[in-house]
């Protein structure tokens, strides 16, 4: 699959794309990530002229799409097993929608939304995340393995998201919090989670975000996870930093 031609074909259908560093899920230096996604053919062609090996991301919210991200981490966190359990209880995801196999032997199932996007949900079920903002797509490559379509369906042929899934995702956040909240001693992790949400004053933004991303990376999480948390922390600030500055902070810490 020719990356440039595939990306241009999607753009002609008004899907908005953004470039990623080759062989990674990270945005290119001095770009704004998915917030600068575009369907401009000249701009997209220029990405591949500069580096034919770049990966591409798809902006989901502007396309009214939702992705069910199914991973197979281990036997206790296997999204395929979670799907099977849902089916046994009468809740089945249509498998005739557009889907992609991921480099980690997982699945991305794409569904069309009608109206406002529900919340993005991490670990909605063991091994399953719900993506509503952006996603890496075929023919991108991670560690030498590519994303590739599962069937003859196209992205434009994604099926409507099942009603039962929308109902589940739009449950009151308060109800979810009541079920999961536990009284506990504030740990180191608890303190930086508080920092993540509470933010800081405008004059301390750079120092705050630099310190925060360092703490996040020290947990041993994946760099992509740390980047998403950094973006979230920045969005919580009264006056968020430009994405280019956030990317600079992240890359500077990542190189240490």
**Mean pLDDT score, 240-255:** 85
Asked whether residue 249 is domain-assigned, the answer is yes
Counted domains in the chain: 2
Asked whether residue 10 is domain-assigned, the answer is no
- Domain hosting 75: range is 65-130+155-171
The sign of the dihedral angle between the CA atoms of 221, 222, 228, 230 is positive
pLDDT attached to residue 186? 54
pLDDT, tens digit, for every residue of 31-72?
A: 888 888 999 999 999 999 999 999 999 999 999 999 999 998
pLDDT, tens digit, for every residue of 17-32?
A: 999 999 999 988 888 8
**Is 163 found in the same domain as 74?**
yes
Closest by Cα among 107, 27, 12, 126 to 69: 107
Quick one: pLDDT band at residue 148, thresholds 50, 70, 90? very high
Average pLDDT, the chain: 85
pLDDT attached to residue 190? 66
**Is 161 found in the same domain as 212?**
no
């Amino acid at each position: 699959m020719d990356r440039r031609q595939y990306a241009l074909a999607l753009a002609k259908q008004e899907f908005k794309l953004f470039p990623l560093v080759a062989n990674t899920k990270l945005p290119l230096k001095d770009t704004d990530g998915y917030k600068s996604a575009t369907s401009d053919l000249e701009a997209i062609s220029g990405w591949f002229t500069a580096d034919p090996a770049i990966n591409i991301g798809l902006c989901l919210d502007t396309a009214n799409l939702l992705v069910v991200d199914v991973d197979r981490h281990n036997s206790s966190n296997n999204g395929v097993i979670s799907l099977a359990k849902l089916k046994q209880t009468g809740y089945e995801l249509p498998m005739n929608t557009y889907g992609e196999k991921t480099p980690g032997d997982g699945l991305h199932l794409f569904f069309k939304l009608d109206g406002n996007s529900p919340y993005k949900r991490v670990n909605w079920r063991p091994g399953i995340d719900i993506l509503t903002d952006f996603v890496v797509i075929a023919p991108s490559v991670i560690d030498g393995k590519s994303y590739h379509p599962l069937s003859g369906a196209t992205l434009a042929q994604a099926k409507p998201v099942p009603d039962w899934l929308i109902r589940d995702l739009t449950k009151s956040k308060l109800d979810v919090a009541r079920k999961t909240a536990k009284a506990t001693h504030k740990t180191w992790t608890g303190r930086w989670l508080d920092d993540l949400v509470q933010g800081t004053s405008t004059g301390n933004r750079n120092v705050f975000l630099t310190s925060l991303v360092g703490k996040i990376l020290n947990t041993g999480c994946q760099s992509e996870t740390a980047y998403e948390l950094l973006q979230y922390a920045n969005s919580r600030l009264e006056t968020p930093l430009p994405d280019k500055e956030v990317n600079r902070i992240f890359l500077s810490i990542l190189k240490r």
